[in-house]
Amino acid sequence: MSPKYSNGIGFLFCLVLLVVIFGMASAQLSSETFYATTCGSALSTIKSAVNSAVSKERRMGASLLRLHFHDCFVNGCDASILLDDTSSFTGEKTARPNSNSVRGFEVIDTIKSQLESSCPGVVSCADIVAVAARDSVVALGGSRWSVNLGRRDSTTASLTTANSDIPGPALDLSALITAFSNKGFTANEMVALSGSHTIGQARCTTFRTRIYNETNIDSTFATSTRSKCPSTGGDNNLSPLDVTSPNAFDNAYFKNLVSKKGLLHSDQQLFSGGSTDSQVNAYSTNLQTFKTDFANAMMKMGKLSPLTGSNGQIRTNCRKTN
């Protein structure tokens, strides 16, 4: 082999190696300082808008947290859930877990509009959703966690995956463990993330069967909840997931489970004689342990299959592709 040819092979090998190394690096999210030089006001803008929205309606904090969860569980944290349907495209908003249920889109729109004015084409919708979820929890009394940044936005969405991968309110414990395991979470992390139900509300249609037909439920709680959810009709009537303190990010949700006052079937499954009972007991008696575990699990969730580097795009309008 001639030296010239040999050098060419060497150069090609180095080039391939650089591509591999860069590809690995670009697949990782960066620290919370990601926008420090390109849009220094990004985090303060998001926090201000979230605090404003939550002060007007406490439930919005839970809605923004849920928006992030329902985004990440469908092909990763890529803002696919924000895409509106078009004549040639069906997004995730009409999926069973999302239809007439997921909300907070207008808050994300407001934040995006503000950031497009101050630093156009820089901050992704996916990062906005992730930071807004964290700031919502903090606004309602929960722990702050560091949100890794650098996500880019998808150009597609999946109605099918939204219908199949987002855990539903009728799941038994084994199915819940499987659904979260499929996304890389342990059973303990699943219990911690379920603690997000210490805030927010649910529609009658999601808990009617439990309050009328199940036996592992406090009778007084069942009776009072039936007044908000008739056996027929009133599907969209709301009831708090945590009847004790629905607007405070605390551990009352777990205390309620121990007292058989879980609103959803899937909630009470976490404390029903199964493998997660001890974890629920621990969180019901130690608020700080729950807050710490929840924050760590949320950091992990925010890293689910992000689009980074040159993948995806930075949408100008979160509801549609560029």
218 is in an annotated binding site: no
Cα–Cα distance between 37 and 35 in angstroms, integer?
6
197 is in an annotated binding site: yes
Q: According to the annotation, is 267 in a ligand binding site? A: no
Active site residue 68: no
From the list 173, 179, 185, 204, the residue with the least C-alpha distance to 268 is: 173
- Annotation-wise, does 167 bind a ligand? yes
- Has 280 been labeled as part of a binding site? no
Tokens of 115: 């950031």
**4-40: buried (b, 16+ CB within 10 Å) or exposed (e) per residue?**
eeeeeeeeeeeeeeeeeeeeeeeeebeebebbeeebe
The continuous run of DSSP H or E covering 239 comes out as: strand 238-240
Asked whether residue 78 is marked as a ligand-binding residue, the answer is yes
How is the chain split among helix, strand and coil, in percent rounded to 5? Answer: 50, 5, 45
Q: Kindly write down the DSSP assignment for every residue of 47-71, as one continuous string.
A: HHHHHHHHHH-THHHHHHHHHHHHH
214 is in an annotated binding site: no
Catalytic residue among 66, 70, 151, 210, which? 70
The verdict on whether residue 246 carries a ligand-binding annotation is: no
Ligand-binding site membership of 153 (annotated): no
DSSP string covering 198-233: GS-EEEHHHHHHHHHH-SSS-HHHHHHHHTTS-SSS
Annotated binding site for Ca(2+): 71, 74, 76, 78, 80, 92, 198, 242, 250
Annotated binding site: 71, 74, 76, 78, 80, 92, 167, 197-198, 242, 250
Any idea which residues carry the catalytic annotation? 70
Annotated binding site for substrate: 167
Annotated binding site for heme b: 197
